[in-house]
Structure 1
Amino acid sequence: MADFQYYVASSLDGFIATKEDDLGWLLQFEEAEGVTESYEDFMAGIGCIVMGGQTYRWLMEHEPGKWPYPGIPCWIFTHHEYAAPPGADVTFVRGEVQEFAPDLVADAGDKNVWLVGGGNLVAQFAKAGLLDEMIVTLIPVALGSGKRLLPVESPTAPLELSSTRTLGGAAVELRYRFPARAGSAGPVLPDHVGNPGS
């Protein structure tokens, strides 16, 4: 079954964007050694993408006319009305994340679900017990303030570090499994949601 993965870059002080959604601090590292390979390796295992409305709006504003995920089903959790880019497989939804978990798993097929962000949306998946893995690349920059990496409401249990690697000699990619998921084939959906095929 599909894993729900949060693949993201973070500043050293735990932010994924400035308050103004500026990513200049991150983009200066996009050509660093190993960054492209890391992304391509990760995307090879992705069958479905999930993001919030603010992340989707940022993409539309900064990548006009260019959809970065062709051929991959993408679900947008939002309370706003947006149009899908031509040819993109995009579904707009609103509601509790666990309501749509079986559909996301079905769309992913034999691959995984990428929770693109933002942090507030991913925190909802974590609260629902639907976050299997965090793959966090720590960028050697401190922002001081901004959009938090994972704004959970209470402390999590310690995560299990499964691997590390250095990118470009300065950034560090850390892979963490959530303990309830460690060693499992995928998320156990809440009883009131039901697992696909059950």
Structure 2
Amino acid sequence: MPNIVYIATSIDGYIAKPDGGIDWLNEIPNPDGNDYGFGEFMKRIDGILMGRSTYEIVMDFEQWFYSKPVFVLSNTWKELPGKWASKAELIKRHTTDELLETLYAKGINTIYVDGGKTIQTFLAADKIDEMIITRVPIVLGAGIPLFTPDLPELRFEHIATETYHGGLVKSHYLRKR
């Protein structure tokens, strides 16, 4: 039952600007309309677990990009806001083990873990089994980092690297246990 990160970062390791903005991801030239493997990745997973801040970005998208069940973590919301509220389910934040048990009970066994804080929480609890990280050739200089200094040392094995138009470099890692 793997928990998988699939995310893009700047080459200096940020997943968003200091204000949470990800507009820099939309500036990547993509003349072929490539999904960079996202469609194939989505076939592997049963559901998506994302944090509130990530959902706040997603709820402003013009299109819903997810074909699998989406679960949003928040202790402050009583219900999901926005036009996509019916497309996701609100889950109160608990320990990672409790969250996983809740998702497993719903038949969600292969989980796409998304959102900076959520990923960091799962890394801190050693609950990430794979990471697929795409480096975008931009230096943001500041922002929301994918990794924080308080994370434990975790070893991963490099499985593959692909390069794409525009200088994107996607690397796939498996947790060494």
Query: Which of 111, 127, 135 matches 2:132?
Result: 135
- Return 5+ residue gaps in structure 1 as ranges: 181-198
Aligned length, in residue pairs? 174
Q: How does 1:1-198 map to 2 (within 5 A)?
A: 2-29=1-28, 31=30, 35-60=34-59, 62-63=60-61, 66-70=63-67, 72-81=68-77, 82-83=79-80, 85=84, 87-109=86-108, 112-117=110-115, 119-151=116-148, 153-180=150-177
Deviation at 1:97, TM superposition (A): 2.0
Q: Which stretch of the first structure deviates more once superposed, 81-90 or 134-143? A: 81-90
How far apart are the structure 2 equivalents of 1:37 and 1:178? 22
Task: Kindly provide the amino acid, as one letter, of the partner of residue 130 in structure 1.
Answer: K
* Correspondence for 1:187: none
Q: How far off is 1:169 after superposition?
A: 4.9
**Could you state the TM-score of these two structures normalised by the residue count of structure 2?**
0.86
Partner Cα distance (1:36, 1:15) in 2: 21
Q: How big is the alpha-carbon RMSD for the aligned residues of Structure 1 and Structure 2?
A: 2.2
Please tell me whether the aligned partners of residues 93 and 99 of structure 2 are also in contact (alpha carbons under 8 angstroms): no
TM-score (norm 1): 0.78
SS of corresponding position for 2:21: coil
Percent identity over the alignment?
A: 27
Cα separation, 2, equivalents of 1:15 and 1:30:
19
**Cα 1:32/1:99, change in 2 over 3 Å:** farther
Unaligned 5+ runs, structure 2: none
Alpha-carbon distance between aligned partners in 1 of 2:8 and 2:85, rounded to the nearest angstrom: 28
The C-alpha deviation readout for 1:105-137, integer Å capped at 9, x for no partner, is 34455x6210111x2211111122210011000
